[in-house]
Amino acid sequence: MKLTTTQHKYIEIDENNVPYISGTTMKVIELISGHLAFGWSPEEIKFQHPYLTMSQIYSALAYYWDHKKELDNDLQKRSKKVEKIRQKIGETSLSRKLRNQGLI
């Protein structure tokens, strides 16, 4: 994979213009989605992903804030794609069971 460096020390961009955390296979969007979905602090992100350094985490967060509109659009596209797939496959038996028990 060919990577291009950025002004963010721990962020590299691949040939598909996808930002990754340097030295890992983790996309910035993956870290950000956990941060946004669960409200994870940088320390919680470190707990969830112990192979990342705090410098890598803060660099990814800084990259997000510097490219917020672009990454938020990417998150929205991903969410729509997941919803289409969910609608296509329908409700799973587990979901149905949990719904019948009032758990979801």
Domain ranges of the chain: 3-79
Q: What is the pLDDT of residues 60-69, one digit of tens each?
A: 999 999 999 9
Q: Would you say the C-alpha torsion 23, 64, 36, 39 has a positive or negative sign?
A: positive
Q: Ramachandran region of residue 8, left (φ > 0), alpha (ψ -120 to 50) or beta?
A: beta
At 13-55, the pLDDT tens digits run 999 999 999 999 999 999 999 999 999 999 999 999 999 999 9
Taking the C-alpha atoms of residue 29 and residue 96, their distance in angstroms, rounded to an integer, is: 31
d(CA 1, CA 73): 24
Which architecture, in CATH terms, is 3-79?
Answer: Orthogonal Bundle (1.10)
Cα distances (angstroms) measured from residue 83 to each of 1, 79, 91: 30, 6, 12
